[in-house]
Homo-oligomer: A and B are copies of this chain.
Amino acid sequence: MTLKTKENYLKAMYMLAEEEGVISLSGLGKRLGVSKPTVNSMVKQFQHEGWVEYQKYKPIELTSQGKKEAALVIRRHRLVEMFLVEKMEFGWEEVHDIAEEMEHVEAEILFDRMNDMLGNPAFDPHGSPIPDKNGNVLSRPYLSLSEMRRGDRVVVKALRDDNKEFLDYLNGRHIRLEVEMLVEQIETFDKSMTISIEKEPSLNLSKEVCDRLLVERL
């Protein structure tokens, strides 16, 4: 199996486990853009390599080895994103696709140097934690903005999504990490929120947007 294939499958499995709680064949297929039979045969190979635990018709589980290797791919991805934003003046909406390519570069020393130049950063430009060199990750106790109530004051800490369209939307409304917001109103019928940011006009954010904003209560 090629390294890139291995890395892409492991990363997808790791993220599915995080996001959906479970790794299904079809979820993995959709995520990777491949058919179910393809995933099925690949998963058997991953099991053979000791990266997943798998039984017919049961959900897939990453072994600790698999988790670690996946976390190291994610480490490279997030370090690259941070490097691009901090050292090369890219916007947070530009870096995902570049990092997607660079995470597969076989040059440990390059990522170590990025890490050093960035001072061993704990989070990427979207607020996601950067796993350490052993594949250990800080868990984030953040809540989604949609769980807040009227009158809550919060700080934006991370995003659930680093999709370019979403980031462009946030840029257009001056929503960045560490921005402070006040929840002014919540519409009961569509769950949209009216929020205000210091020195800016109030904004209405749809449920979809609120779900994707991870915040800390002040």
A interface, CB within 8 angstroms of B: 84, 87-90, 94, 97-98, 101-102, 105-107, 109-110, 113-114, 117
A114 to B98, CA, bound (A): 13
Number of copies: 2
- B109 and A105: CB pair below 8 A? no
A101 to B88, CA, bound (A): 20
Which residues of B have CB within 8 Å of A90?
A: 113
A94 to B112, CA, bound (A): 14
Interface CB pairs A-B, < 8 A, 8: A88-B114, A89-B113, A90-B113, A98-B107, A98-B110, A101-B106, A102-B102, A105-B105
| Least CB separation from A90: chain B residue | B113
Rounded to whole Å, the gap between the CB of A37 and the closest CB of chain B is 22
Which residues of B have CB within 8 Å of A110?
A: 84, 88, 98, 102
- A97 and B107: CB pair below 8 A? yes
Given A88-B113, A90-B113: A101 in contact with B107 (beta carbons within 8 A): yes
